[in-house]
């Protein structure tokens, strides 16, 4: 119990520092790359004096550290700010409707925008993971338990094949085959759960090869450990050794792979997949925000993403140290 | 277990297991090679059969064949292993599985990797017992495991039940595996080299334990070992195995005193000798002091899982002082966990001590930084145990040996090449190896590369941390001769850090014995081995597996128990928990060793003359002819 408390206190502390650093880097980069958001907010026809005044009102002409300090205080009080571009109704405004001046109150709150988009992304990610597990666990286990024989080779071929498919291309092909050609599933936009299936398949195709290989390597390595053979000689059955010991030991590297690599791949995959399918999730929101230099949204999503990564890694490491007590924390 | 014929108890006429004409071969790319040929042996109920052979003689393969554990690329080519009317080798896997762990138990040489590292030890033994005897209730099984843990003298068994394999020492783990084997009351126990990874005192304890348990549990034991000293302690009959063949089979005392076969005589001659040695004993040097270690301490911190933000202090080295004189061989001995490796890291300046000083020719090495430290490093070198990982596989041998010269910027290309080749010749490596990669070098040759790499800097002090432990005895003897020649030629000083008492006896003039991070006794060679003043030294010497007469008897000096945890060192003398002579004062007052240079000292409240006298029998009647 003491271990769990110390573990979480320590890791939450470290996690906050990481999130803060990520936020600072994103914040600074956004402000030093070319592209002035004011021009996009107010439109190309706005006089220079109005541009300058709006920029100063929004605080965009202050030193970056001052801006960042203000931003952090604001986030700490629970306010993620308001979008530069999107109206309260959610649509992108842009253009010249604000040429007379900019009223932040007419813009949508970032928290609400994220709150609307997040459930869609979570649903897509969850279904993607379910598909990945459905493919990888049986294939990976079969390959690992029969190392060097046909299931092993099947696992290798399937994962080599899947890993060489670019997800943009897979997305387009699946839309063509399952939606345009046969009409089995809907593809573009979102009007119900069925719209999640094809995008989730694309995610699964990206994630599966890594997991298939990792499961088979990890299981095969544990079958080669001394404790497995000794277990059989001690009088335990092969089935019991696999169910109670091999799978347990094999899980530790898999947890780490999941936390360190797969969550990153999943986040990246969401952006691409949502964009291809016009899926109204967090990825879509962010990509549009990047095109429109909508700083508040980009910053909030970056913080959210790094927070999710830190939190999942914390849970994964906790699970690993609980299974294998030798691990340092 | 319906179709398995079990022998009624008491029928000793019928052997428990009979092996006839067993041959095992390995199939590789070069065809079949025989590893075991035509093995015949018989195991009687309630007896102990010893099998002795050197590494590569096929001992382990034989022990595994007895439980039908022969896997690709090994193959049984002929013969039978009969047990209770069945031939185990032709038994279907399912029926064999019903015998394993129930009637026939097996314990291997590597206790620390024998169990799942992520599940508590007791739970795994319970799992086995419940598989083997499903009729037992959970509570009854649990109680039986704890009782058996208690029977092998594992302290606080109920608590140990929930601890993980990595929390067990090698000796405790081997005890746990003995529990695992015996908890189902098997008729036959096959013990393959079970004492090999253990320290001598622990190995002796395990042996004593197994002998007692074998009587209590009425189990027949096949005890396989590569140490004649160990196997002769426990076995009734001995089988000598040489290159896959049985060359001799006789009762233990006959084999020791009247060996029939030339190979058996060779084996007996190879058993390390400590007392019937002959030759001269190395004498202390009177040269100037090269290394002066003063009250050095090193503590490591580990996180505590049971408290928030707390650390536990592992006291690895606790106030060590000694001096080494020029041209002297100084030995540091002790068992695993006594702090000798930490000490070697401190001496070679890989880590700094928390307190105390290490003076090399009067200069404190802990205070040196940068260029001064680099200059000093030239003058003392560290040689480690593992000759494989110490050499970069992708570097030519010449380049490997030249590396230190390049680091220190000594000489141009030609000079370096000449120097490297000269050193290679000196350590006995042919010059033709200069441009070759280390692939295919033997362990001995690799160790020579390491020695050459150290010598090329012309050091004054060599720290040998178990340098020769991984080598066989022939190679070890050759390298010891090499060290001696180098010492005569270059006046090098050696610090041998080792657990090999026979080697230390042969080469070291002064010897320090470490226990739990302290030097408990420091004396010259003769005093240490003939008239040791510390009970721990005596216990250590009594447990050495030799076949000669020993001045110290195990019954007198060796108690049960293992060294205390270096995290919770009890107050008072740290050896008192295992000391047969401990009295009231030892629990309160920690004895200190006098720091006088050149005098034999021991950290014990008892004076040497109040310990039992050493058995000073004449050396000749101990050594078998």
A283 within 8 A of A202, measured Cβ to Cβ: no
Asked if the structure places residue A89 within a domain, the reply is: yes
**Strand-pair category, B380-383 with B461-465:** parallel
B544 within 8 A of B537, measured Cβ to Cβ: no
Question: Do A92 and A123 fall within a single domain?
Answer: no
pLDDT band at B424 (very low <50, low <70, confident <90, very high): very high
Asked if the structure places residue A134 within a domain, the reply is: yes
Asked if the structure places residue A19 within a domain, the reply is: yes
pLDDT of residue A329: 64
pLDDT of residue B623: 39
Q: Does B69 touch chain A (CB under 8 A)?
A: yes
With CB atoms and an 8 Å threshold, state whether B309 touches A329: no
- Segment B202-215 shows an average pLDDT of 88
- Rounded Cα distance between B427 and B448, Å, is 6
Which parts of B384-541 are beta strand (E)?
461-465, 493-498, 510-515, 518-524
Q: What is the pLDDT of residues B2-35, one digit of tens each?
A: 444 444 444 445 789 999 999 999 887 777 888 8
Q: Indicate the helix (H) or strand (E) that contains B205.
A: helix B200-217
What SS3 class is residue B107? strand
pLDDT of residue A92: 56
User: Which residues on neighbouring strands pair with residue B322, listed in sequence order?
Assistant: B293
Q: What is the pLDDT of residues A18-29, one digit of tens each?
A: 999 999 999 898
Q: Indicate the helix (H) or strand (E) that contains B604.
A: none
Among the ranges given (A28-37, A185-194, B241-250, B522-531), the one the predictor scored with the smallest mean pLDDT:
A28-37
B307 CB neighbours in chain A (<8 A) are 2, 6
pLDDT of residue B622: 39
- Best B136, B305, B307, B312 member to test A by mutation, with max A CBs in 10 Å, is B305
A3 CB neighbours in chain B (<8 A) are 305-306
Q: What is the pLDDT of residues B439-495, one digit of tens each?
A: 888 888 888 999 999 989 989 999 998 888 877 777 888 889 989 998 888 889 999
With CB atoms and an 8 Å threshold, state whether B131 touches A240: yes
B192 CB neighbours in chain A (<8 A) are none
Asked if the structure places residue A178 within a domain, the reply is: yes
Q: Tokens 């060590």 — which residue?
A: B320
Q: Tokens 């000449």 — which residue?
A: B418
**Counting runs of H as helices and runs of E as strands, what totals does chain A give?**
14, 2
Token representation of residue B74? 């090994």
User: Which residues on neighbouring strands pair with residue B450, listed in sequence order?
Assistant: none
- Rounded Cα distance between B84 and B97, Å, is 15
CA angle in degrees (0–180, nearest 5) for A158-A264-A204: 30
- Rounded Cα distance between B532 and B480, Å, is 25
Question: Do A70 and A136 fall within a single domain?
Answer: no
With CB atoms and an 8 Å threshold, state whether A236 touches B131: yes
Question: Do A96 and A192 fall within a single domain?
Answer: no
Question: Do A140 and A280 fall within a single domain?
Answer: yes
pLDDT of residue A2: 81
Q: What ipTM, to 2 d.p.?
A: 0.82
Domain range holding A9? 2-110
pLDDT at B625 over 70: no
Which residue stretches of B90-165 are H helix?
93-99, 121-132, 138-151, 157-160
- Measuring CA to CA, which residue among A306, A260, A267, A307 is closest to residue A287? A267
Interface subset of B 155-174, CB within 8 angstroms of A: 164, 166
What SS3 class is residue B515? strand
B509 within 8 A of B578, measured Cβ to Cβ: no
pLDDT at B516 over 80: yes
B36 within 8 A of B23, measured Cβ to Cβ: yes
Question: Do A105 and A227 fall within a single domain?
Answer: no
- Rounded Cα distance between B470 and A116, Å, is 66
With CB atoms and an 8 Å threshold, state whether B131 touches A225: no
**Mean of all residue pLDDT scores within chain A:** 88
- As a dihedral over the C-alpha atoms of residue B5, residue B6, residue B12, residue B13, rounded to 10 degrees, the angle is 0
Which parts of chain A register pLDDT below 50? 94-96
**Mean of all residue pLDDT scores within chain B:** 86
- Measuring CA to CA, which residue among B68, B73, B62 is closest to residue B23? B62
Nearest CB to B113; choose among A3, A9, A227: A227
Question: Do A132 and A268 fall within a single domain?
Answer: yes
What SS3 class is residue B364? strand
A232 CB neighbours in chain B (<8 A) are 69, 97, 100
- Measuring CA to CA, which residue among B105, B6, B5, B7 is closest to residue B63? B105
Question: Do A37 and A181 fall within a single domain?
Answer: no
Instruction: Read off the CATH number of the domain in which A238 is found.
Output: 1.10.3720.10
Residue in chain A nearest B117 by alpha carbon:
A324
CA angle in degrees (0–180, nearest 5) for B565-B571-B575: 60
- Measuring CA to CA, which residue among B186, B317, B311 is closest to residue A328? B311
Q: What is the pLDDT of residues B367-415, one digit of tens each?
A: 787 888 888 888 888 888 887 888 888 899 999 999 999 988 888 889 9
Asked if the structure places residue A133 within a domain, the reply is: yes
Into how many domains does chain A fold? 2
Which residue stretches of B248-358 are H helix?
252-257, 262-270, 340-347
Smallest CA–CA distance, residue B503 to chain A, in Å, is 32
A81 within 8 A of A281, measured Cβ to Cβ: no
Q: Tokens 């080697």 — which residue?
A: B503
Q: Where in chain B is the domain with CATH 3.40.50.300?
A: 17-270, 289-379+459-610
Question: Do A172 and A248 fall within a single domain?
Answer: yes
Architecture of domain B289-379+459-610: 3-Layer(aba) Sandwich (3.40)
Q: How far is CA B8 from CA B41, B183, B187, B318, B422, in A?
A: 22, 20, 11, 58, 72
Q: What is the pLDDT of residues B140-176, one digit of tens each?
A: 999 999 998 888 888 888 888 999 998 888 888 988 9
Q: Which residues contact B221 (CB under 8 A, 6 or more apart)?
A: B47, B48, B49, B188, B189, B190, B191, B210, B214, B234
Nearest CB to B132; choose among A235, A244, A328: A235
Smallest CA–CA distance, residue A149 to chain B, in Å, is 15
Q: Does B309 touch chain A (CB under 8 A)?
A: yes
B516 within 8 A of B574, measured Cβ to Cβ: yes
CA within 13 Å, CB half, A275: 16
- Rounded Cα distance between B65 and B20, Å, is 12
- Rounded Cα distance between B212 and B225, Å, is 19
User: Which residues on neighbouring strands pair with residue B333, listed in sequence order?
Assistant: B498, B513
Q: Does B73 touch chain A (CB under 8 A)?
A: no
pLDDT band at B597 (very low <50, low <70, confident <90, very high): low
| CB-count burial class (<10 Å; 0-12, 13-18, 19+) for A188 | middle
- Segment B558-564 shows an average pLDDT of 81
Q: What phi, psi does B349 have (nearest 5°)?
A: 70, 25
Question: Do A201 and A286 fall within a single domain?
Answer: yes
Q: What is the pLDDT of residues B92-144, one digit of tens each?
A: 888 888 888 889 999 988 888 899 999 999 999 999 999 988 899 999 999 99
- Measuring CA to CA, which residue among B438, B410, B440, B412 is closest to residue B424? B438
Token representation of residue B401? 């040996």
Provide the percentage of residues in chain B whose pLDDT is more than 70: 96
The b-or-e profile of A101-120 (16+ CB within 10 A means b, else e) is: ebeeeebbbbeebbeebeeb
Helices A295-323 and A282-291, interaxial angle, to 10°?
A: 140
Q: Tokens 């620390």 — which residue?
A: B112
pLDDT of residue B469: 80
Provide the whole-model pTM. Answer: 0.81
Question: Do A101 and A185 fall within a single domain?
Answer: no
Q: What phi, psi does B194 have (nearest 5°)?
A: -65, -20
With CB atoms and an 8 Å threshold, state whether A245 touches B116: yes
Helices A295-323 and A247-257, interaxial angle, to 10°?
A: 160
B97 CB neighbours in chain A (<8 A) are 232, 235, 237
Q: Does B135 touch chain A (CB under 8 A)?
A: no
Cis ω before A230 (30° cut-off from 0): no
B166 CB neighbours in chain A (<8 A) are 325-326
With CB atoms and an 8 Å threshold, state whether B114 touches A236: no
Q: Tokens 């050794």 — which residue?
A: A241
Q: Which residues of A touch B (CB under 8 A)?
A: 2-3, 5-6, 9, 225-227, 229-237, 240, 244-245, 248-249, 252, 323-326, 328-329
Give the DSSP per-residue string, B307-327. STT-EEEEEEEEEEEEEEETT
CA within 13 Å, CB half, A252: 16
Smallest CA–CA distance, residue B26 to chain A, in Å, is 19
pLDDT of residue B468: 84
Q: A91, A110, A129 — which closes off a domain?
A: A110
pLDDT of residue A126: 95
pLDDT at B56 over 80: no
pLDDT of residue B5: 44
Question: Do A196 and A226 fall within a single domain?
Answer: yes
With CB atoms and an 8 Å threshold, state whether B101 touches A233: yes
Q: How far is CA A65 from CA A18, A37, A68, B316, in A?
A: 18, 19, 5, 48
Radius of gyration of chain A (CA): 24
Asked if the structure places residue A303 within a domain, the reply is: no
With CB atoms and an 8 Å threshold, state whether A234 touches B105: yes
With CB atoms and an 8 Å threshold, state whether B114 touches A227: yes
Asked if the structure places residue A167 within a domain, the reply is: yes
pLDDT of residue B1: 39
Q: Does B90 touch chain A (CB under 8 A)?
A: no
**Strand-pair category, B289-303 with B355-360:** antiparallel
Q: How far is CA B124 from CA B127, B180, B314, B373, in A?
A: 5, 9, 29, 51
B141 within 8 A of B126, measured Cβ to Cβ: yes
- Rounded Cα distance between A84 and A296, Å, is 7
A324 CB neighbours in chain B (<8 A) are 117-118
CA angle in degrees (0–180, nearest 5) for B517-B510-B519: 15
pLDDT at B426 over 80: yes
Q: What phi, psi does B310 have (nearest 5°)?
A: -115, 150
pLDDT of residue A91: 58
Tell me the CATH number for domain B17-270: 3.40.50.300
Asked if the structure places residue A319 within a domain, the reply is: no
Q: Which residues contact B419 (CB under 8 A, 6 or more apart)?
A: B405, B411, B456
Among the ranges given (A77-91, A147-161, B257-271, B281-295), the one the predictor scored with the smallest mean pLDDT:
A77-91
Question: Do A192 and A105 fall within a single domain?
Answer: no
């Amino acid at each position: 119990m003491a271990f769990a408390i110390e573990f979480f206190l320590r890791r939450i502390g470290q996690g906050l520092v990481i999130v803060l650093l990520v936020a600072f880097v994103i914040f600074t980069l956004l402000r030093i790359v070319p592209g002035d958001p004011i021009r996009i907010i107010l439109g190309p026809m706005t006089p220079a004096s109005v541009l300058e005044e709006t920029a100063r009102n929004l605080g965009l002409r202050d030193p970056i550290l001052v801006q960042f300090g203000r931003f952090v205080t604001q986030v700490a009080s629970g306010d993620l700010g308001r979008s530069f571009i999107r109206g309260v109704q959610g649509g992108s405004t842009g253009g010249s409707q604000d040429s007379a001046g900019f009223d932040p109150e007419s813009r949508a709150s970032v928290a609400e925008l994220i709150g609307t988009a997040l459930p869609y992304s979570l649903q897509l990610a969850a279904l993607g993971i379910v598909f990945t597990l459905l493919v990888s666990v049986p294939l990976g286990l079969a390959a690992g338990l029969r190392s060097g024989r046909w299931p092993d080779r099947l696992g290798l071929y399937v994962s080599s094949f899947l890993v060489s498919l670019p997800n943009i291309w897979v997305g387009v092909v699946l839309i063509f085959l399952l939606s345009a050609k046969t009409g089995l599933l809907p593809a573009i936009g979102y009007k119900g759960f069925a719209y999640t299936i094809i995008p989730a398949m694309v995610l699964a195709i990206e994630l599966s090869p890594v997991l298939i290989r990792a499961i088979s390597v990890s299981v095969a390595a544990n079958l080669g450990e001394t404790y497995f053979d000794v277990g059989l000689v001690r009088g335990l059955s092969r089935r019991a050794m696999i169910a109670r010991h091999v799978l347990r030991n094999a899980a530790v590297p898999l947890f780490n792979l999941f936390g360190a690599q797969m969550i990153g791949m999943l986040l990246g995959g969401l952006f691409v997949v949502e964009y291809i399918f016009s899926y109204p999730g967090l990825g879509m929101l962010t990509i549009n925000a990047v095109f429109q230099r909508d700083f508040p949204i980009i910053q909030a999503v970056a913080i959210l993403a790094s927070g999710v990564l830190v939190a999942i890694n914390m849970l994964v490491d906790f699970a690993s140290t609980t299974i294998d007590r030798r691990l340092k924390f | 277990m319906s179709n398995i014929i079990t022998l009624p108890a008491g029928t000793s006429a019928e052997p428990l297991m009979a092996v006839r004409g067993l041959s095992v071969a390995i199939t590789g790319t070069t065809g079949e090679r025989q590893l075991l040929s035509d093995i015949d042996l018989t195991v009687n109920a309630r007896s102990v059969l010893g099998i002795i052979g050197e590494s590569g003689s096929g001992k382990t393969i034989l022990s595994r064949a007895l439980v039908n554990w022969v896997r690709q690329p090994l193959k049984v080519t002929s013969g039978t292993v009969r047990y209770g009317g069945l031939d185990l080798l032709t038994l279907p896997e399912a029926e064999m599985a019903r015998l394993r762990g129930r009637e026939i138990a097996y314990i291997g040489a590597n206790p620390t990797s024998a169990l799942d590292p992520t599940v508590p030890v007791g739970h795994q033994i319970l799992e086995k017992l419940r598989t083997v005897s499903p009729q037992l209730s959970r509570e009854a099984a649990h109680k039986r495991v704890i009782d058996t843990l208690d029977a092998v003298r594992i302290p606080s068994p109920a608590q140990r039940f929930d601890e993980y394999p990595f929390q067990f020492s090698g000796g405790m783990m081997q005890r746990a595996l003995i529990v695992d084997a015996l908890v189902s009351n098997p008729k036959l126990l096959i013990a393959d080299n079970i004492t090999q990874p253990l320290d001598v005192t622990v190995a002796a304890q395990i042996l004593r334990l197994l002998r007692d348990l074998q009587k209590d549990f009425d189990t027949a034991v096949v005890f396989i070992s590569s140490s004649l000293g160990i196997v002769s302690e426990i076995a009734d009959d001995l089988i000598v195995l040489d290159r896959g063949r049985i060359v001799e089979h006789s009762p233990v005392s006959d084999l020791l005193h009247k060996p029939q076969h030339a190979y058996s005589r060779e084996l007996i001659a190879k058993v390390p000798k400590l007392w019937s040695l002959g030759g001269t004993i190395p004498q202390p040097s009177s040269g100037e002091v090269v290394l002066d270690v003063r009250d050095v301490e090193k503590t490591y911190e580990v996180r505590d899982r049971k408290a928030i933000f707390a650390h536990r202090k592992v006291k690895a080295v606790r106030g060590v002082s000694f001096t080494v004189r020029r041209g002297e061989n100084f030995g540091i001995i002790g068992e695993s966990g006594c702090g000798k490796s930490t000490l070697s890291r401190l001496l070679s300046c890989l880590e700094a001590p928390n307190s105390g000083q290490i003076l090399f020719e009067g200069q404190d090495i802990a205070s040196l930084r940068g260029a001064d430290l680099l200059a000093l490093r030239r003058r003392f070198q560290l040689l480690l145990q593992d000759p494989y990982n110490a050499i970069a596989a992708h570097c030519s041998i010449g380049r490997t040996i030249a590396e230190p010269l390049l680091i220190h910027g000594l000489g141009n290309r030609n000079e370096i090449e000449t120097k490297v080749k000269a050193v290679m010749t000196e350590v006995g490596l042919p010059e033709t190896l200069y441009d070759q990669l280390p692939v295919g070098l033997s362990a001995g040759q690799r160790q020579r590369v390491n020695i050459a790499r150290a010598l090329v800097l012309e050091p004054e002090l060599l720290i040998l941390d178990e340098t020769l432990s991984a080598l066989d005895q022939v190679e070890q003897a050759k390298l010891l001769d090499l060290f001696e020649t180098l010492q005569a030629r270059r006046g090098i000083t050696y610090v041998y850090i080792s657990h090999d008492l026979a080697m230390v006896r042969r080469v070291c003039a002064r010897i320090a014995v470490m226990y739990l991070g302290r030097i408990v006794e420091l004396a010259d060679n003769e005093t240490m081995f003939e008239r040791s003043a510390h009970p721990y030294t005596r216990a250590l010497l009594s447990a050495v597996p030799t076949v000669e007469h020993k001045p110290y008897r195990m019954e007198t000096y060796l108690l049960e128990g293992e060294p205390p945890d270096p995290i919770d060192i009890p107050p008072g003398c740290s050896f008192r928990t295992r000391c047969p002579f401990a009295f009231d004062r030892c629990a309160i007052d920690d004895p200190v060793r006098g720091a006088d240079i050149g005098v034999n000292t021991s950290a014990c409240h008892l004076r040497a003359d109040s310990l039992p006298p050493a058995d000073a029998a004449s050396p000749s009647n101990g050594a078998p002819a």
